[in-house]
Structure 1
Amino acid sequence: MKLIMPSMKVEDTMTSSLVLHATEAGNGRQTRQANQRYKDPSIRLEERELKPLAPDGLRLQMLRVGICGTDIHMTQKDPNGYVRCSAPASIPEHGRILGHEGIGRVIATGADVSSFRVGEIVAPESVLSCGLCRPCRAGAFNQCRHARLLGMENDGLFSAIADVPARSAVGIHRLAESEQGLQMAACLEPAGVALLTGLKAQMSPGDKVLIFGAGPIGLLCAMMARRLHGASAVCMVEPSAYRRDFAAAWTDQVVESVEALETPDGGWDVVVEASGILANVNTVFRQIAPCGRVALLGRGGEALLVEAVDHMITNAISVMGLRGHLGGVYERLIDLCVSGVLPLDRIVSTTMEGLDKLCHVLERPDSISSADCKIVVKLSS
């Protein structure tokens, strides 16, 4: 693909952005969902003033962005009017620019940046770690004590122009030569979560894997269980008929509810909860095999109930929470995409153009799970 230099001027001071507004519910009050404190979310397109570029920053003309379940949950209300999302978030009075998945072309670099040039296409990582705290120094960047989440605690990528720290950016030039490559690059962030899930849950050849939720991350977990880890059985539970059809390519069995599941001989070696409904884990816990692993990915703000504790102890079953994708995960994914092992673009169900279309979708978030899977939005060429 021929490199097209940006039509925007570096000296532009304003940019169109998709901004979430919400009302803080007094003194940071916490609800049942531990990190919630905002009510009555609304989203709109705004012209926002660009701040001076930080010395360690990159200014990106955004090319493609992906809609994550977290973005959807940030725009939804629970029955009490609170923002549904339970992930860490900070929404200032002037609003928060959403978006943590995407790729952009560098149109300016900070004074201290020497690792990127204007014109390069990069994918920002969504967990902004400090690199200095004890977990970071131990290589556990996803568990940084001072982490900031892009599009949640820092302004994100749903903008014509976005600023990100250079240390969070990964060059994707090997994927930038084709339309398929750019679509795959737009899916790197959720794919990074799925890749870490397989690694941390120690998926191995012959494992029987059960996944709750056929959203993008659940689908990517299924794809990797089959293509990377050699699972002998990959099964999914998903209430949406559309998503069940979409998941069929990567699964041996995909059912509407847990009652329709056929438990394999010996039980499940790995259970991945990617739907945010933690009660799912309890329903299948007695069907987990000895030395089985449970990976929790979907946030729902619920308590985790495990009734079969004796089964857990007797069978040495592990339960782990996972987030993020740091530590060289993007680079590994790019290698797997270029080699043809992981066709990440195959999870994309809809591609649309423009922030106005993105705004329209997020104004009606409840319709996405029933009629779509992964939505990628083109913001520029």
Structure 2
Amino acid sequence: MKALAKTRRTPGFELIDTPVPRVGAGEVLVRVKYASICGSDVHLYQWLPWMAEHIKEIPRIVGHETAGEVVAVGEGVTEVEVGDFVALETHIACGSCYQCRTGRMHVCRNLKILGFDIDGSFAEFVKVPARNCWKVPPSIPREWVSLMEPMGNAVDTVLAEPISGQRLAVLGCGPIGLMGVTIAKACGAALVIASEPNPFRREMAKRMGADIVVNPEEQDLVEIVLAETNGDGVDAVAEMSGNPKAFLQAIEIVTPGGWVSLLGLYNQPVTFNPSDAIMKAIRIHTVTGRKMFSTWETVTRLLATGKVDLEPLITHRFPLEQFDDAFQSVIRQEAVKVVFEVF
């Protein structure tokens, strides 16, 4: 089969020919139809230092945001059957550590991640544990299914607490931030203020339903938020950017007694006095991955009922053979979500 792999400890990937995986007990083989590019895939493509430290084994088939059809099942598999169309949960949990046994598989102590710790899905076929398959109803467009995995991150960030009737600021409108905007509106947010320096993404934020869009490099976000909320501040902030300045802005613009949800990863320390949050009685949530599997249920309902439309986010489609063009479109910030059509 053809597959996209990291074959050298240098920037870039390589299209290789490799045997189709064989399934064992409890495993399934999925024929990949669509696979989308995540920001972490871009970091792996660029071979950033922190990613180089994480990847232990080379070669490694990359990719993890996946949609496909089950074509083979191993002994003992009952969760899915041949012919099912599935999305894949990319966190491979051990099932036996303290976190797994107490309902927190997404932070498993022995966690492995598809496309990083085990071979991934930028390939014609991928092998995964059966419990990592999420059956998708026919009401969800097949082209959207690979986006269900990152959408789970957006759901857990924006819906960390009830959002209906609330005023929310989304800081950082990359793909997951943009998903957060439309999820918040679908779930009844009264006001969504989006902050994003990139003009293409600001326009996309408007399209996804943001009521107010701010360029934080040219406008005073704090001043605008206070003006739009009668000086109260927003009830909640979803910090998606990983920018230290945005973190501090989140603490400043949230109303006393409100909450801040953090998804963006910070490449440098943030100088922060916890008293600033304590004196405002701010609740801070941190988000990693998706809750397994309650978040998947929420994602499915939002998409299956038509509450959320992901089509505008899929700006580019490529075959695997054009992987360099695909990744460069993301690096140049010309794309939102790029989907490989593998079928």
Residue 106 of structure 1 aligns to a residue in which SS? strand
The 1-side partners of 2:172 and 2:8 are apart by 28
Which of 11, 19, 42 is the equivalent residue of 2:5? 19
Aligned residue among 184, 192, 198 for 2:152: 192
Quote the Cα distance in structure 2 between the aligned partners of 1:332 and 1:319. 22
Correspondence 1:126 to 2:112 = no
Contact 1:297 1:321 in 2 (8 A): yes
- Following TM superposition, by how much is the alpha carbon of 1:170 offset from its aligned partner in structure 2, in angstroms? 0.9
Query: Conserved in 1, the CA contact under 8 Å of 2:80 and 2:133?
Result: no
Contact 1:203/1:225 (<8 A) preserved = no
Q: Point out the more displaced range, 298-307 or 148-157.
A: 298-307
1:287 to partner: Cα distance: 2.4
> 1:294 — aligned with what?
260
Q: 2: distance between equivalents of 1:155 and 1:302?
A: 30
Q: Deviation digits for residues 3-56 of structure 1, max 9, x if unmatched?
A: xxxxxxxxxxxx111112453xxxxxxxxxxxxxxxx33211111233432211
TM-score normalised to structure 2 length: 0.90
User: Contact between 1:128 and 1:168, CA under 8 Å: does it hold in 2?
Assistant: yes
1:92 aligned to which of 40, 57, 74: 57
- In the other structure, the counterpart of 1:103 is 67
Alpha-carbon spacing, 1:91–1:356, altered in 2? closer, same or farther (3 Å): farther
| Correspondence 1:1-381 to 2 at 5 A | 15-23=1-9, 40-78=10-48, 82=49, 85=51, 89-93=54-58, 95-175=59-139, 181-200=141-160, 202-228=161-187, 230-249=188-207, 250-257=209-216, 259-261=219-221, 262-263=224-225, 264=229, 265-307=231-273, 309-325=274-290, 326-350=292-316, 352-362=317-327, 365-367=330-332, 369=333, 371-380=334-343
CA deviations over 1:310-338 (Å, ceiling 9, x no partner): 33111111223211122232233222222
Q: Give the AA of the match of 1:17.
A: A
Distance 1:297 1:207 in 2: 19
> Residues 365 and 341 (structure 1 numbering): CA distance in 2 closer, same or farther, change over 3 Å?
closer
Change (3 A) 1:146 1:77: closer
Q: CA deviation at 1:121?
A: 1.1
Report the Cα offset of residue 125 of structure 1: 0.4
Instruction: Give distance in 1, aligned partners of 2:314 and 2:77.
Output: 33
Task: Name the SS for the 2:80 alignment partner.
Answer: coil
Q: Equivalent residue of 2:18, what SS?
A: strand
Contact in 1 for aligned 2:250/2:260 (Cα 8 Å):
no
CA-to-aligned-CA distance 1:46-78 (integer Å, 9 cap, x gap): 112334322111111100011111111222255
Q: What is the aligned-residue identity percentage?
A: 27
What amino acid sits opposite 2:145 in the alignment?
A: A
Structure 1 runs (4+) deviating above 3 angstroms are: none
Cα distance, 1:363 vs structure 2: 5.4
Cα distance in 1 for partners of 2:266, 2:147 equals: 22
Equivalent AA in structure 2 for residue 103 of structure 1: A
Number of equivalences? 334
Task: Give me the whole-angstrom Cα distance separating, in 2, the residues matched to 1:124 and 1:291.
Answer: 37
Instruction: State the TM-score, normalizing by the size of structure 1.
Output: 0.81
1:150-187: CA deviation from partner (whole Å, max 9, x where unpaired): 112121111111111111001114346xxxx1123221
Q: CA RMSD in A?
A: 2.1
Cα distance change on mapping 1:364 and 1:206 into 2, 3 Å? closer
Gaps (5+ residues) in structure 1? 1-14, 24-39
Q: Structure 2 unaligned runs (5+)?
A: none
Are the equivalent residues in 2 in contact too, given 1:61–1:105 (CA < 8 A)?
yes
> Matched residues in 1 for 2:178 and 2:35: separation?
18
1:298 to 1:140, Cα distance in 2 relative to 1, 3 A: same
